[in-house]
Amino acid sequence: MIVIHRANKGGQFVGNWRIHAPRLDDEVCTACGLCASFCPEAAISTDEEGKPEIDWRFCKGCGICANECPTGAMTMVKEE
């Protein structure tokens, strides 16, 4: 389980900046945790299986998680 504390990075309510949002393909995700490590807003934590969970209050839609994902499990989609 990865928990990155918002005292060290992030912590701002930047969810309303989002134009594109990360979408997870659970079948493709290998639970490597890289997306959580790279997220500049500490918006991603991982569940007990190591799969990412996004706190939408802190996700600004920058796309770094999708860019760093080695399997293509995380992709960016235009938010409705």
Q: Which residues bind ligand SF4 (CB under 6 A)?
A: 22, 24, 29-35, 39, 41, 43-44, 52, 54, 59-65, 69, 71, 73-74
Closest distance to ligand SF4 from the beta carbon of 66 (Å): 7
Nearest to 12 by CA among 51, 41, 53, 44: 41
CB of 62 to ligand SF4, least distance (A): 4
User: CB of residue 3 vs ligand SF4: minimum separation in angstroms?
Assistant: 14
User: Quick one: tokens of 67?
Assistant: 């860019």
Per the listing, tokens 């997306």 go with 35
Nearer to ligand SF4, 13 or 71 (CB): 71
Are the C-beta atoms of 54 and 44 separated by less than 8 Å? yes
Asked if residues 18 and 60 have their Cβ atoms less than 8 Å apart, the reply is: yes
